[in-house]
Chain A
């Protein structure tokens, strides 16, 4: 691939990326969230069409017009979110879309099962029964099925997006064995992972992506020093402007206390305190439990142990309403799916959490609703300044402001922000940062989750670093730098 460029409205996701992969090698893709890895592999899988650039496959220029076209050439992709049909059996999933046929009829039962069974044996998992429903399998087993599906095609290149994220060490070892088998057979593997140690174990060469560009291509995976790789991942062309922190941390009583909060299988017991005016950042990779912690504090998930205390009052576990009543507000990670009423106007999106405030014996005081909602959106300089604008016509940054205005209107005291700048284009971020800091200065307590380390470091007063569901480090943001945080989240040990 050379000179691949792909733009989305407001974002240039890929900007002239080159990538060359040789038969029989494991080529690792590294980069922070938002660096363009996912977009790149989707181009490779035929799911996105590049705006510019060429793809050369075994010496010939090709156009990957659809996932099927890519698959026909022998390119298979195993996505992070598994794309299996839970209601079908293992064998049916493996051959989904290219069922073995005889005289035009789908061959069911034994033939397909035998082939599936052979593939699973090759993957070191003969214990998976091809007749079982996929929904009943563990995450690791599902991944194996997904891989079997890729292998059921005549495959020459396999793209694996964070394949080890859901696996325990033994299963990871097995995965590496499979990868080694594949490369020995001349298959090329593009391997995406956050874990440097894995890359060192199995990778041949590394390409580092950052802000949609390949900053380094074809580095030797075993010998390039960690420090260099981290430097390449973090060095930025675009510097965000973060607002100034207040000189001295606030000295008030904490408004939010979390004691021993945990959820089995997601995160180990967490303690934290948050004061009015303070921004506390949670840094960690995908799967480190940061969003889960936030949603559990908010009551959207029910904790296994521990409690959440606001102003000395313990919240009812697993009750969003209890949390909202106590003054918590969440700006969720998936803004469109979890936060907004996409068919509705700005006003209605802002007022939705404060309806009882505008209720006069059940009647809605629409004048007051509009007036107060507008006051809140103006305070955050939401544009356009039109309370009747449909929320879906707004930019990502202004949509996020509408969510913040919702909680401002509600008079909330603790704001939980999950990836507040996801899908917000670069120019609008600084403004959003300023808004968040201003809200904190006005006395709000903010708990911030972000996968972008500079964002956490730049915006928060204090930072908790998470790795695999555990808090591995706590420090004032001023005492940390990006390298150190990345070391912590990737290696888990405060080395270097």
Chain B
């Protein structure tokens, strides 16, 4: 655990002490998915090596793994929903605002009186409700996703501010708070990470093993062809934005647990992080191809970068530069491996 990581360069991503349920499935799925995921695994391996070499004693230990995965779980859940939307050829710019609104609505004094269930229920229903509005506007109102979700971004943020009046809403419901502290870890796996893992697995199954997933890909690949093939494109789109809203609701609950509060500034720029993670993961921005494994790897890459930079006590300005550079590098690597792999 505290050895200097001289063997690191070839090392697979995080060490073998991985919490079993959370991580076990992922590398295996990544290997059989396609080359894009492999190249991203490579990036992650390089990052792990860098972290291991620069901060062997703090980077390569269980508590850091728990930390990275916990920090990844909120944006990770959002990214799973975003992956579906992008795969269908759409975009959801309102995810961050929905997370903010849901987390704020679920932590008002009135909601907190209903306890754990009230908070969870409100977060999820507000998320789904916003997704429903997005979906109706886009699928049946004929609005462009970019505009419809941009409008939702503005109104949800506004409503969140309206509810909080700019104040931080502290959560006092003990069972909710308890979920975020080490006492609640199951075999070393934080509940947040467990939720993230479950959402990832369900998302993967939904995209790759169900008719819903197949229709999503068809709509994104060629909406006109899908329509002429007899698929109800509009209903599919509605469901997709509902799904994204649902993920935002779940993420909002996780964020409430994580931060012990609700604030209208929550979820700031999640839309960009989620889109970036999905794209470097290999989901096509134009639709028709999506990978949950890639998206989750994308999120882990970003979270790991943040972690390494913080452990090395570097300024946030440098972090942002590095993040941008890594997006470009990952996409370039991906494209070249893709070209070599396919022709």
Residue of A nearest to B235 (CB): A321
Of A341, A348, A406, chain B has the most CB atoms within 10 Å of the CB of: A341
**Alpha-carbon distance between A321 and B227 when the two chains are bound, in angstroms:** 8
Of A298, A342, A344, chain B has the most CB atoms within 10 Å of the CB of: A344
B227 and A362 contacting across the interface, CB-CB below 8 Å: no
A363 and B210 contacting across the interface, CB-CB below 8 Å: yes
Known pairs A330-B228, A353-B229; A366 contacts B209 (CB<8 A):
yes
Q: Which residues of B contact A339 (CB under 8 A)?
A: 225, 228
Q: Confirm or deny: A101 has a beta carbon within 8 angstroms of a beta carbon on chain B.
A: no
B230 and A325 contacting across the interface, CB-CB below 8 Å: yes
Residue of A nearest to B289 (CB): A343
**Alpha-carbon distance between A338 and B210 when the two chains are bound, in angstroms:** 24
Q: Confirm or deny: B113 has a beta carbon within 8 angstroms of a beta carbon on chain A.
A: no
Q: Which residues of B contact A338 (CB under 8 A)?
A: 222, 224-225, 228
B226 and A363 contacting across the interface, CB-CB below 8 Å: no
A321 and B225 contacting across the interface, CB-CB below 8 Å: no
**Alpha-carbon distance between A320 and B234 when the two chains are bound, in angstroms:** 12
**Alpha-carbon distance between A396 and B48 when the two chains are bound, in angstroms:** 47
**Alpha-carbon distance between A455 and B239 when the two chains are bound, in angstroms:** 44
B227 and A320 contacting across the interface, CB-CB below 8 Å: yes
Q: Confirm or deny: B212 has a beta carbon within 8 angstroms of a beta carbon on chain A.
A: yes
A343 and B231 contacting across the interface, CB-CB below 8 Å: no
CB distance from B173 to the nearest CB of A (A): 35
Q: Which residues of A contact B218 (CB under 8 A)?
A: 341, 344, 348, 352
Q: Which residues of B contact A410 (CB under 8 A)?
A: 230
Residue of A nearest to B231 (CB): A352
Q: Which residues of B contact A359 (CB under 8 A)?
A: 210-211
Q: Confirm or deny: A231 has a beta carbon within 8 angstroms of a beta carbon on chain B.
A: no
Q: Which residues of A contact B227 (CB under 8 A)?
A: 300, 320
CB distance from B279 to the nearest CB of A (A): 16
Known pairs A338-B228, A344-B217, A344-B221; A362 contacts B289 (CB<8 A):
no
Q: Which residues of A contact B210 (CB under 8 A)?
A: 359, 362-364
Q: Which residues of A contact B225 (CB under 8 A)?
A: 332, 337-341, 352
Q: Confirm or deny: A356 has a beta carbon within 8 angstroms of a beta carbon on chain B.
A: yes
Chain A 357-371 near chain B by CB (<8 Å), digits 1 or 0: 011001110100000
**Alpha-carbon distance between A361 and B209 when the two chains are bound, in angstroms:** 11
A363 and B209 contacting across the interface, CB-CB below 8 Å: yes
Known pairs A324-B230, A325-B230, A363-B210; A355 contacts B222 (CB<8 A):
no
Q: Confirm or deny: B190 has a beta carbon within 8 angstroms of a beta carbon on chain A.
A: no
Q: Confirm or deny: B178 has a beta carbon within 8 angstroms of a beta carbon on chain A.
A: no
**Alpha-carbon distance between A320 and B211 when the two chains are bound, in angstroms:** 19
Cβ 8 A contact of A341, one of B212, B222, B284: B222
A355 and B288 contacting across the interface, CB-CB below 8 Å: no
B229 and A406 contacting across the interface, CB-CB below 8 Å: yes
A341 and B230 contacting across the interface, CB-CB below 8 Å: no
Known pairs A325-B230, A338-B224; A352 contacts B288 (CB<8 A):
no
Chain A 423-441 near chain B by CB (<8 Å), digits 1 or 0: 0000000000000000000
Q: Confirm or deny: B215 has a beta carbon within 8 angstroms of a beta carbon on chain A.
A: yes
Q: Which residues of A contact B224 (CB under 8 A)?
A: 337-338
**Interface residues on chain A, number (Cβ under 8 Å):** 31
A340 and B222 contacting across the interface, CB-CB below 8 Å: yes
Contacting residues of chain A (180-219) with chain B, CB-CB under 8 angstroms: none
Residue of B nearest to A298 (CB): B228
Of B209, B214, B217, B289, chain A has the most CB atoms within 10 Å of the CB of: B214
Q: Which residues of A contact B212 (CB under 8 A)?
A: 362
Cβ 8 A contact of A343, one of B214, B229, B232, B288: B288
**Alpha-carbon distance between A352 and B218 when the two chains are bound, in angstroms:** 8
**Alpha-carbon distance between A324 and B225 when the two chains are bound, in angstroms:** 13
**Alpha-carbon distance between A177 and B160 when the two chains are bound, in angstroms:** 66
Q: Which residues of A contact B209 (CB under 8 A)?
A: 363-364, 366
Cβ 8 A contact of A332, one of B226, B228, B231, B289: B228
B288 and A321 contacting across the interface, CB-CB below 8 Å: no
Contacting residues of chain B (186-220) with chain A, CB-CB under 8 angstroms: 209-215, 217-218
Residue of A nearest to B219 (CB): A341
**Alpha-carbon distance between A295 and B227 when the two chains are bound, in angstroms:** 12
CB distance from B116 to the nearest CB of A (A): 30
Residue of B nearest to A322 (CB): B230
Q: Which residues of B contact A323 (CB under 8 A)?
A: 230
Contacting residues of chain A (394-424) with chain B, CB-CB under 8 angstroms: 406, 410
**Alpha-carbon distance between A324 and B227 when the two chains are bound, in angstroms:** 10
Of B211, B222, B231, chain A has the most CB atoms within 10 Å of the CB of: B211
Q: Which residues of B contact A343 (CB under 8 A)?
A: 221, 284, 288-289
B222 and A337 contacting across the interface, CB-CB below 8 Å: yes
CB distance from A394 to the nearest CB of B (A): 15
A352 and B214 contacting across the interface, CB-CB below 8 Å: yes
**Alpha-carbon distance between A348 and B225 when the two chains are bound, in angstroms:** 13
Chain A 108-134 near chain B by CB (<8 Å), digits 1 or 0: 000000000000000000000000000
A362 and B232 contacting across the interface, CB-CB below 8 Å: no
Contacting residues of chain A (309-354) with chain B, CB-CB under 8 angstroms: 320-321, 323-325, 330, 332, 337-344, 348, 351-353
CB distance from A113 to the nearest CB of B (A): 32
A355 and B226 contacting across the interface, CB-CB below 8 Å: no
Q: Which residues of A contact B214 (CB under 8 A)?
A: 348, 351-352, 355, 364
CB distance from B153 to the nearest CB of A (A): 25
**Alpha-carbon distance between A406 and B230 when the two chains are bound, in angstroms:** 11
Of B214, B224, B229, chain A has the most CB atoms within 10 Å of the CB of: B229
Q: Which residues of A contact B231 (CB under 8 A)?
A: 352-353, 355
Q: Which residues of A contact B284 (CB under 8 A)?
A: 343
B232 and A355 contacting across the interface, CB-CB below 8 Å: no
CB distance from B129 to the nearest CB of A (A): 24
CB distance from A14 to the nearest CB of B (A): 29
CB distance from A312 to the nearest CB of B (A): 21
**Alpha-carbon distance between A340 and B218 when the two chains are bound, in angstroms:** 9
A358 and B211 contacting across the interface, CB-CB below 8 Å: yes
Of A351, A359, A362, A366, chain B has the most CB atoms within 10 Å of the CB of: A362
Q: Which residues of B contact A348 (CB under 8 A)?
A: 214, 217-218
Cβ 8 A contact of A362, one of B211, B226, B228, B288: B211
**Alpha-carbon distance between A164 and B289 when the two chains are bound, in angstroms:** 43
**Alpha-carbon distance between A356 and B231 when the two chains are bound, in angstroms:** 10
CB distance from B341 to the nearest CB of A (A): 13
Known pairs A364-B209, A364-B214; A342 contacts B228 (CB<8 A):
no
Further pairs besides A337-B224, A341-B226, A352-B225: 9, Cβ < 8 Å = A324-B229, A325-B230, A339-B228, A342-B222, A343-B289, A358-B211, A363-B209, A364-B209, A364-B211
Sample (18) of A-B pairs whose CB atoms are under 8 Å apart:
A298-B228, A321-B232, A323-B230, A324-B229, A324-B230, A341-B225, A341-B226, A348-B214, A351-B214, A352-B214, A352-B218, A352-B225, A355-B214, A355-B215, A355-B231, A356-B211, A364-B210, A406-B229
Shortest Cβ-Cβ A-B pairs, 7 listed: A324-B230, A341-B221, A355-B211, A353-B229, A359-B211, A343-B288, A352-B229
